[in-house]
Chain A
Amino acid sequence: MESNNLADITIYIALVVSTLRMATPLILAGLGGVFSERSGVVNIALEGIMLIAAFMGMLVSYFTNAPWLGVLAAVASGAAVAWLHAVICIKYKSNQVVSGTAINLFSVGFTGFMLRKVFEHAGQSPPVAKVADWTIPLIEKIPVVGAMIGKHTPFVYLSLIAVVISNFVLFKTKLGLRIRAVGEHPKAAETVGVDVFAIRYLCVLLSGALAGLAGASLSLGFLSQFRENMTGGRGFIALAAMIFGKWTPYGTLRACLLFGFADALQILSQTLGLTFIPRDFLLMAPYILTMAALAGVIGRSVPPAASGIPYERQK
């Protein structure tokens, strides 16, 4: 019995660690989605932005051997791609979903092309220096808990910090009030002197930077290389998490942990003896739950009122 319990504990540890690992890129990209949509701009380009950022981060780390510089490059390139999305959507008032789709198409072609151009290699990049793990001094020493949360890639901790900061900014500051006003009723916001365009640009750039960080977590955190299409739909799951979390940072965090947990179950299903649930159904779970949430089956999710609608400045 004793040894059996012990085995159970290692499984729980693996489950928690796996959940956090799976959730981290979703949390970062999901927060990006929250900022963008709260300001009224739909950003389905998160997937493509993550992919490009994962590539650029890897590239800079490869040439400089300084992974943190790579992270910086990933964030900057994420913001740069988001800027393109912002210009198309805000300045030229184009359809936001079309622009996002185009960026997603572009990202696959661009990263595949550059991979061949730089490394003359298809499929994946050579290994690069990745960001070193962080250990949390005291917590690390606690049995079980230490093994669960005491030592991780920095992105895990950064994503959690980002949730707290995002929530503070959105709901406790003047800027956050403006962001929400612009996303709900831009005309009213402008009437009281808020620059709708500036707020939207800021939020879309921020969403790109966060999605960029999410991309870096893939190529410089959990892995130490770039693989073609390595985002594998995480940008879309992040969008789903944002909706499931009702467009709030903490809600998104909870949704990402839930989705990450479903993913962890799927990965560990052999060990856990969960083979009676088909793996594919666990993989589907986030999407089905999100549709149910939108339809009001499990607590109705209602998007910001002006989300997706380009704003025309008042004369």
Chain B
Amino acid sequence: MLNADLTPKGVRGVSNNGKDLQKPGEQMFRISREQAVELSIPIVAVLLALLLGAFLILFIGRSPQEAYSALLQGAFGSKRDIAETLINVTPLIFTGLSVAFSFKCGLFNIGAEGQFIMGQIVAAWIGFQLTGLPTVIHMPLAFLLGAFAGGLWAALPGYLKAKLGVHEVINTIMMNYIALYFSHYLVMGVLKEPGPIPQTPPVVAAARLWKILPGTRLHFGLILALGAVWLVYYLLFKTTLGYEIRAVGINPHAARYGGINVSRDIIIAMSISGALSGAAGAVQALGVQFRFLDLFGFVGYGFDGIAVALLGRNHPFGVLIAATLFGTLARGAITMQSIAKIPKQIIGIIQATIVIIVAADEVLRRLLKSRSPGTQASVDAGEVERDGE
């Protein structure tokens, strides 16, 4: 395919002009003016979105101050509230890392939702099926197999992308729905608990994640999520594989020319990305619900993961911050609705606005800095290069 558009294309915000392709171990905490602008974009996006939210609250004749203080109260008002907020944050860290990891390889894993479902149902299944195992074996086994299931679910679109050049976006969307119906089939059939409710039997005590804050539901999943942040950081920036994956994300042609096995790295990156989403499902099954409940639609952690990854600029630490923000908003929204009687959908609008602003960051970039010589914008936009003949 002779195509003039064979410029290096990562996903926006993933691979700006190749500057973040540092060798493992390279110094990375120097901040230039340009980086300062890049860093301020997410902050400005959040502030603008909260401002829009305030206008919406005024529009329905309420006080934004009352709404936002109810939100903060709900998120941080008591020990229990803080614990619940962190319970919300936990799966978002995993799915945010998942989407960010795929972005780093120039892939768009929009299938986090489906991988989440597969991780959740497999972890629940292992959690109730096996009995008599000690916690130190059963709990990690259920968690890891959940993550593994998510990884497998993503490996297929990764394989199809790497070997046949089929775009991963469409396939991962398709697999979201396949996972949704497949889980429904399982939970209505072989995995169903006897009785009227479409759900699996409860996960046995030995497979449940430890409680880490007495008097609350906060569970060990948070520690696992923080561990995953560090692991993804280490993998991406301190190992050869991570270096290769980022190289593929920035320019697959150059990477191939440089001797990197691009197909292999695409499959690996998709699998790791899927495993992270699967892990999100697993912690929900083993730490919060203790079973798999029939889904009537997508739970949304996967889609929110996209927002988290974008807002966190696809960096593991950025993801951590963004997941904390989104988890706080989600938790606070419930109180905002129940106490201040303000529709929690406002939070959905705020989240979508953040994504739109971060996605259209070129607008902000133009406002925030006097235009720098402008080739970069055209280079990094767009999608991953289609595997050409």
Show the binding face of A for B, using Cβ within 8 Å.
Answer: 42, 44, 84, 88, 92-99, 101-106, 108-110, 112-113, 116-117, 185, 187, 229, 232-233, 236, 239-240, 243, 278, 280-281, 283-284, 287-288, 290-291, 294-296, 303, 305-306, 308-310, 312
Contacts and interface: CB of A to CB of B under 8 A. Distances in A.
Contact of A98 (B182, B184, B348, B355): B355
Interface stretch (B25-33, B81-89, B136-144, B162-170): B162-170
B110 interface: yes
A72 to B, nearest CB: 25
A281 B181 CA distance: 7
Contact of B9 (A102, A116, A309): A309
B367 interface: no
B4 A109 contact: no
A106 B306 CA distance: 13
Contacts of A113: 56, 343, 345-346, 348-349
Interface residues of B, number: 58
Given A95-B11, A284-B178, A309-B5, A102 B352 contact: yes
B171 A294 contact: yes
Contacts of B169: 42, 44, 97
Contacts of A312: 378
B322 to A, nearest CB: 14
Contacts of B35: none
19 contacts: A94-B359, A96-B382, A96-B383, A98-B355, A103-B352, A109-B348, A113-B346, A117-B59, A229-B297, A280-B184, A281-B185, A283-B177, A284-B181, A291-B160, A291-B174, A291-B175, A295-B160, A296-B164, A308-B167
Nearest to B375: A312
A257 to B, nearest CB: 19
Contacts of A288: 174, 178
Contacts of A278: 185, 189
Contacts of B166: 294-295
B351 A105 contact: yes
B173 A98 contact: no
A312 B5 CA distance: 10
Nearest to B160: A295
A104 B351 CA distance: 11
A135 B192 CA distance: 47
